[in-house]
């Protein structure tokens, strides 16, 4: 337990102090707000930290947790996320700060997940007495929001509650969580997330709204604490993200000095130019961190409907060929090859690309939907937007709640971003996001790909 | 339900072809009516407010066993009662055990409960009040089981999108319905609904249990013969007897009782209105089945209706919060309609080939079943369907119906290994009952494997929202110091919400 290991507390405190000393003013303010109490006169203190991509939401949240526990070793914290992946990330960050498995535990609903600080169970009666004691005594408990009820049984009265990735926490889920935690008398709820990222998958427009937007709608004078410095992407990629943030009507973020010039070569990859086909040379050249390619002239690049999804065979093929080109051309001294990620908003396109990727004997890259990529970051991202029609129809990418797909996809890239899209469809129908994206300062535009 | 309401059967709208084939973008208000379960229909027949609590507020178990509450047994008595009887009959049939005296059955019960975490007091009460009376009545029948070649199936799931009911005008109308039959005894031509409800001197079946078994029977007889599993195909269920078994008595149900048809029409009207009628809260309240001073004793939702909400003044912003939450309840219910109910329609309205082509199910045959593992040989594209869902990380396990999508025994398993055209699944421990063993011993039965989303999470959210809505504090000082009250009053009332405190780290340091 944390109170019995003074050296470890000191180590955590040192690590946190060191980390916080590197924080900018906004990040420090966020840490302090997270540690504030609800109990002040007639007000309720509800810290909401608006953290755009790469601004270190989870780092700030875990630093606040660590600082709180190093000062109050007898207290408890409940750290919740919507997805298991986000919960794993938070756990990893806490371990990096010096926590060990006696101080942080994650509960999972999969009984086969056991060990390394994880206890998987479906019902409470599956737990052994030893596991119960472990859960009761471990200061930080990490879980998903759906497990809030069970988790609260292992937390002491007055525990702190941190909710990460609130873009996926809609209003009913949030209030259901408040309901489950009410017997715990939580000292506050600190919410971390980016209100402009993707909401949960739902058929109901009313359920798209995240808790931050809801609170801002109800309390107009409420202003969340915004983080403004990002530590993930090259500044040109950040410019593309800022173009999209502008289209979404929110503030711009700035790039930390240490990542301003972060390209593939600065991350340890050598560009073997001789391995690069001249057709793709301009696209994969690391001096262009953002490349936007027009796919109108590709063979077979018309969209094809597959049930409720869409596929673009020409775009799928070029995405895979690009992945292969990156894989062959960028190699580390250790021999490790670059494995780009291909993202698409349409699951049919993802299946098509995965099928093509499987035809290679080696793993040259991965493909997934933009939804699944949320919360993750990749060195090199290729996006296939699929839609290609003369009418400018881009489906849900134009919908108010789901247009964030573009924003999320672009902000996953750290060093290289390649966007494949039909200019006639996306640029000629007043789709603000794509119009802004096209005008990204420093982006390389390839209007005609000579294959 | 008020019997004074006029009976106006609703023309039930089912999903059109495009929706069934998922060629439409699932969005907003569904263009089809719900696919209720037998429990939903019974709940709606019980009370309009009950079905509202069930479908919008995520409340479960509209009718409960009152004696279990008084005895504070604390868990599902009905399940133990039903599972043990299934276990007993299966043991008699499969292991050739002749149960002839009560002490032998008592020992069997001790063995049965040993690994189920049931405490001694509960065990004693379940035996004394439920199982002993039932076993004493049925001792002869149990003793004779071994000598017969009885074919008994337990927990048979039945579903049908077109269950036909007569209308008051002499015509007919059909509704979709899904349910689970406790026991189908082929040789004795009985369909049995077993319940732990009922008292020694009662002359009528427990509330609506006769209606429940009648609905299940109607669903079963409406399934086209070609879509019944091979082990049911040659059987005419129309002339089966319907029996409600309580620990103390067997009640035989009159299949031609017209009251059931009336109840059905009224129940479906309420179910429809819960989803699509704006004034349903008001109408349901006006037509509720009981009042505060005259409550139905075994209603499971009494707390939801007559809880303490009126007597807990804090938080003050209750009305505003309730107004906001009502929209969420309905949209969460629509979410279930688009997922869970649409899937029920697909299972019952599309052919097995169509379902397989859509990637919703995998068809196969049970090869072997041992302990907690089942091996299924899959046909055609089935393996791809299962594998693709697994690879995409969409699932943790599979539901398996031994039988057809419309009729069979449902179990749940986690994939352990895939090889060639076979999959081995480890069955979830709490799902394994002896009844399944019996069904699976049918020679080479057909099976359907599919994945289901965790729909119960939506109901959990509804239930937790409702719980927050009705919760409160009585005293000023308790309310003042309760963070949840303060938070809700800040968000929905007159207090203020601020993103940070007075400045700096004001957190406590010595709690």
B357 and B436 together in one domain? yes
Taking the alpha carbons of B191, B194, B197, B201 in that order, is the dihedral positive or negative?
positive
Q: Choose from A43-47, B67-71, B265-269 the range with maximum mean pLDDT.
A: B265-269
Give the per-residue pLDDT at B507: 38
Residue B334 falls within a domain, yes or no? no
How sure is the predictor about B6, in pLDDT bands with cuts at 50, 70 and 90?
A: low
| Mean pLDDT on A149-161 | 90
Q: Taking each helix axis from N to C terminus, what angle separates A84-96 and A57-71, rounded to the nearest 10 degrees?
A: 50
Query: Is residue B509 scored above 50 in pLDDT?
Result: no
User: Which residue has 């209720």 as its token pair?
Assistant: B36
B503 and B424 together in one domain? no
Give the per-residue pLDDT at A1: 42
B451 and B485 together in one domain? no
Nearest to B192 by CA among B204, B177, B206, B209: B209
B364 and B449 together in one domain? yes
Residue B397 falls within a domain, yes or no? yes
Summarised one tens digit per residue, pLDDT across range A395-443 is: 999 988 889 999 999 999 999 999 999 999 999 778 999 999 999 999 9
Query: Is residue B438 scored above 70 in pLDDT?
Result: no
The Cα A95–Cα B406 span in angstroms is 50
Query: Could you tell me which residue, B439 or A152, shows the higher pLDDT?
Result: A152
Give the per-residue pLDDT at A359: 93
Summarised one tens digit per residue, pLDDT across range B141-159 is: 877 776 555 678 888 999 9
The Cα B125–Cα A399 span in angstroms is 59
3-class DSSP state for residue A195? coil
Which residue among B23, B335, B510 sits closest to A307, beta carbon to beta carbon?
A: B23
Summarised one tens digit per residue, pLDDT across range A436-448 is: 999 999 999 999 8
Residue B439 falls within a domain, yes or no? yes
How sure is the predictor about B447, in pLDDT bands with cuts at 50, 70 and 90?
A: confident
Neighbours of B143 (CB within 10 A): 14
Give the per-residue pLDDT at A334: 94
- Interchain contact B342–A (C-beta under 8 A): no
The Cα B239–Cα A421 span in angstroms is 65
Which residue among A46, A180, A225 sits closest to B497, beta carbon to beta carbon?
A: A46
Mean pLDDT of chain B: 84
Q: Which residue in A has a C-alpha nearest to residue B333's C-alpha?
A: A204
Q: Taking each helix axis from N to C terminus, what angle separates B456-470 and B48-57, rounded to the nearest 10 degrees?
A: 110
Contact B495 A39 (CB under 8 A): no
Percentage of residues in chain B having pLDDT higher than 90: 38
Give the per-residue pLDDT at A368: 96
B350 and B397 together in one domain? yes
Question: Nearest-CA distance from A48 to chain B in Å?
Answer: 6
| Mean pLDDT on A106-125 | 87
B359 and B430 together in one domain? yes
| Mean pLDDT on B471-476 | 88
| Mean pLDDT on A32-36 | 89
Task: Tell me the whole-structure pTM to 2 decimals.
Answer: 0.91
Give the per-residue pLDDT at B432: 47
Tell me the chain A residues in contact with residue B461 when contact means C-beta distances shorter than 8 Å: 172-173, 176
Residue B175 falls within a domain, yes or no? no
* Weakest mean pLDDT among A58-67, B261-270, B309-318: B309-318
Residue B317 falls within a domain, yes or no? no
Domain span at B502 = 480-511
Contact B500 A189 (CB under 8 A): no
Chain mean position to CA A66: 22
Summarised one tens digit per residue, pLDDT across range A264-320 is: 999 999 999 999 999 999 999 999 999 999 999 988 889 998 877 899 999 999 999
Which residue among A36, A38, A146 sits closest to B486, beta carbon to beta carbon?
A: A38
Alpha helices, DSSP H only, in A36-157? Answer: 57-71, 84-96, 129-137, 148-152
Contact A72 B507 (CB under 8 A): yes
Contact B483 A185 (CB under 8 A): yes
Contact A188 B495 (CB under 8 A): no
Tell me the chain A residues in contact with residue B26 when contact means C-beta distances shorter than 8 Å: 203, 308
B428 and B352 together in one domain? yes
Which residue among A74, A146, A178 sits closest to B468, beta carbon to beta carbon?
A: A178
Interface of B with A in 227-286 (CB under 8 A): none
The answer to whether B252 and B191 have CB atoms below 8 angstroms apart is no
* Backbone φ/ψ region at B490: left (φ over 0), alpha (ψ -120 to 50), beta: alpha
B349 and B385 together in one domain? yes
CATH of the domain at B393: 2.40.30.20
Question: Nearest-CA distance from B488 to chain A in Å?
Answer: 9
β-bridge mates for residue A292, sequence order: A419, A445
| Structural tokens at position B86 | 């299934």
- Reported as type and span, the H/E element at residue A78 is strand A77-81
Contact A36 B396 (CB under 8 A): no
B352 and B401 together in one domain? yes
Summarised one tens digit per residue, pLDDT across range B211-227 is: 999 999 999 999 999 99
| Mean pLDDT on A182-204 | 91
| Mean pLDDT on B403-426 | 85
How many domains does chain B contain in total? 2
Summarised one tens digit per residue, pLDDT across range A218-247 is: 998 899 999 999 999 999 999 999 999 999
B448 and B375 together in one domain? yes
The answer to whether B247 and B134 have CB atoms below 8 angstroms apart is yes
Give the per-residue pLDDT at A225: 94
How sure is the predictor about B1, in pLDDT bands with cuts at 50, 70 and 90?
A: very low
Q: Across the A/B interface, how many CB contacts are shorter than 8 Å?
A: 166
Phi (first) and psi of residue B360, to 5 degrees: -85, -30
Contact B468 A158 (CB under 8 A): no
Using the 3D structure, point to which of B440, B456, B472 is the last residue of a domain: B456
β-bridge mates for residue A229, sequence order: A254
Residue B366 falls within a domain, yes or no? yes
Dihedral of the CA atoms B273, B276, B278, B283 (nearest 10)?
Answer: 0
How sure is the predictor about B270, in pLDDT bands with cuts at 50, 70 and 90?
A: very high
B452 and B485 together in one domain? no
How sure is the predictor about A21, in pLDDT bands with cuts at 50, 70 and 90?
A: very high
Task: Answer yes or no: is the ipTM higher than 0.85.
Answer: yes
The answer to whether A238 and A253 have CB atoms below 8 angstroms apart is yes
Give the per-residue pLDDT at B392: 52
Contact A172 B21 (CB under 8 A): no
Residue B201 falls within a domain, yes or no? no
B485 and B447 together in one domain? no
SS3 content of chain A, % helix, strand, coil (to 5): 40, 20, 40
Query: Is residue A133 scored above 90 in pLDDT?
Result: yes
Residue B361 falls within a domain, yes or no? yes
| Structural tokens at position B173 | 């109308």
Contact A71 B509 (CB under 8 A): yes
Contact A176 B464 (CB under 8 A): yes
Half-sphere exposure of B180 (CA within 13 A, CB side): 10
- Interchain contact B331–A (C-beta under 8 A): yes
């Amino acid at each position: 337990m944390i109170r019995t290991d003074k050296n470890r507390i000191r180590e955590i405190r040192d690590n946190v102090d060191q980390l916080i000393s590197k924080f900018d003013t906004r990040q420090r303010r966020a840490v302090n707000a997270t540690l504030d109490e609800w109990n002040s006169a007639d007000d309720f203190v509800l810290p909401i930290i608006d953290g755009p991509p790469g601004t270190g939401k989870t780092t700030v949240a875990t630093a606040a947790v660590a600082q709180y526990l190093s000062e109050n070793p007898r207290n408890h914290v409940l750290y919740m996320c919507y997805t298991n992946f986000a919960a794993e990330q938070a756990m990893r960050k806490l371990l990096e700060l010096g926590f060990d498995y006696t101080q942080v535990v994650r509960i999972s609903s999969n009984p086969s997940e056991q060990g390394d600080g994880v206890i998987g169970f479906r019902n409470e009666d599956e737990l052994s007495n030893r596991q119960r004691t472990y859960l009761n005594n471990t200061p930080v408990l990490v879980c998903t929001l759906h497990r809030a009820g069970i988790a609260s049984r292992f937390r002491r009265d007055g525990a702190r509650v941190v909710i990460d990735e609130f873009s996926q926490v809609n209003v009913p889920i949030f209030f259901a969580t408040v309901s489950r935690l009410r017997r715990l008398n939580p000292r506050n709820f600190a919410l971390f997330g980016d209100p402009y990222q993707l909401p949960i998958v739902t058929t109901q427009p009313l359920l798209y709204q995240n808790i931050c937007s809801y609170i801002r709608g109800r309390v107009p004078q409420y202003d969340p604490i915004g983080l403004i410095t990002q530590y993930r992407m090259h500044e040109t990629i950040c410019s593309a993200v800022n173009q999209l943030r502008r289209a979404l009507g929110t503030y711009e973020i700035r790039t930390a000095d240490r990542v301003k010039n972060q390209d593939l070569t600065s991350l340890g990859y050598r560009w073997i130019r001789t391995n690069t086909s001249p057709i793709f040379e301009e696209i994969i050249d690391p001096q262009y961190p953002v490349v936007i390619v027009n796919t109108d002239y590709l063979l077979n690049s018309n969209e094809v409907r597959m049930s409720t999804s869409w596929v673009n065979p020409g775009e799928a093929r070029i995405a895979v060929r690009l992945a292969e080109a990156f894989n062959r051309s960028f190699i580390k001294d250790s021999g490790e090859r670059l494995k780009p990620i291909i993202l698409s908003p349409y699951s049919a396109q993802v299946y098509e690309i995965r099928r093509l990727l499987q035809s290679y004997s080696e793993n040259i890259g991965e493909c997934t939907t933009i939804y699944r990529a949320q919360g993750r970051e990749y060195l090199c991202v290729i996006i296939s937007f699929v839609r290609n029609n003369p009418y400018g129809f881009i489906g849900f990418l134009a919908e108010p709640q789901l247009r964030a797909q573009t924003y999320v996809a672009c902000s996953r890239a750290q060093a290289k971003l390649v966007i494949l899209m039909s200019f006639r469809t996306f640029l000629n129908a007043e789709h603000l996001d794509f119009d802004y994206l096209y005008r990204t300062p420093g982006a390389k535009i390839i209007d005609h790909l000579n294959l | 339900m008020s019997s004074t309401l006029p009976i106006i059967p609703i023309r039930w709208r089912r999903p059109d072809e495009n929706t069934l084939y998922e060629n439409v973008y699932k969005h907003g208000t569904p263009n089809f009516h719900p696919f209720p379960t037998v429990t939903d229909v019974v709940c709606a027949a019980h009370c309009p407010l009950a079905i509202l609590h069930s479908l919008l507020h995520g409340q479960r178990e509209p009718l409960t066993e009152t004696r279990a509450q008084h005895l504070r047994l604390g868990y599902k008595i009905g399940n133990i009662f039903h599972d043990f009887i299934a276990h007993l009959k299966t043991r008699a049939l499969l292991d050739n055990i002749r149960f002839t005296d009560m002490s032998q059955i008592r020992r069997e019960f001790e063995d049965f409960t040993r690994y189920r975490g049931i405490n001694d007091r509960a065990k004693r009460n379940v035996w004394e009040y439920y199982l002993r009376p039932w076993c004493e009545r049925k001792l002869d029948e149990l003793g004779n089981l071994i000598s017969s070649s009885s074919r008994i199936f337990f927990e048979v799931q039945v579903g049908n999108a077109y269950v036909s009911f007569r209308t008051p005008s002499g015509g007919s109308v059909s509704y979709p319905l899904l349910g689970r039959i406790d026991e189908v005894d082929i040789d004795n031509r009985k369909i049995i609904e077993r319940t732990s409800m009922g008292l020694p001197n009662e002359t009528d079946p427990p509330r609506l249990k006769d209606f429940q078994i009648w609905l299940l029977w109607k669903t079963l007889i409406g399934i086209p013969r070609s879509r019944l599993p091979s082990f049911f195909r040659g059987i005419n269920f129309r002339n089966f007897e319907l029996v409600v078994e309580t620990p103390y008595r067997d009640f035989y149900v009159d299949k031609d009782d017209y009251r059931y048809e009336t109840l059905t029409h009224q129940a479906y009207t309420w179910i429809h209105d819960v989803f699509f009628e704006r004034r349903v809260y008001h109408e349901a309240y006006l037509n509720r089945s009981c009042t505060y001073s005259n409550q139905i004793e075994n209603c499971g939702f009494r707390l939801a209706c007559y809880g303490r909400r009126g007597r807990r003044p804090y938080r003050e912003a209750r009305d505003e919060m309730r107004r906001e939450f009502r929209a969420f309840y309905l949209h969460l219910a629509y979410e279930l309609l688009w997922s869970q109910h649409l899937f029920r329609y697909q299972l019952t309205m599309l052919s097995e080939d169509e379902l397989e082509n859509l990637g919703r199910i995998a068809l196969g045959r049970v090869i072997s079943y041992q302990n907690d593992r089942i091996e299924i040989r899959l046909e055609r594209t089935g393996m791809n369907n299962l594998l693709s869902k697994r690879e995409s990380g969409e699932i943790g396990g599979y539901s398996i119906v031994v039988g057809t999508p419309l009729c069979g025994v449902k179990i749940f398993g986690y994939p352990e290994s895939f090889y060639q055209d076979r999959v081995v699944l480890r069955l979830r421990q709490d799902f394994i009952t002896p009844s399944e063993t019996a069904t699976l011993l049918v020679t080479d039965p057909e099976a359907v494997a599919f994945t289901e989303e965790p729909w119960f999470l939506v109901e959990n959210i509804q239930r937790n929202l409702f719980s927050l809505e009705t919760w409160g504090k009585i005293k000023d000082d308790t309310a003042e110091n309760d963070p949840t009250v303060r938070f809700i009053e800040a968000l929905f009332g007159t207090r203020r919400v601020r993103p940070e405190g007075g400045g700096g780290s004001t957190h406590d340091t010595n709690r």
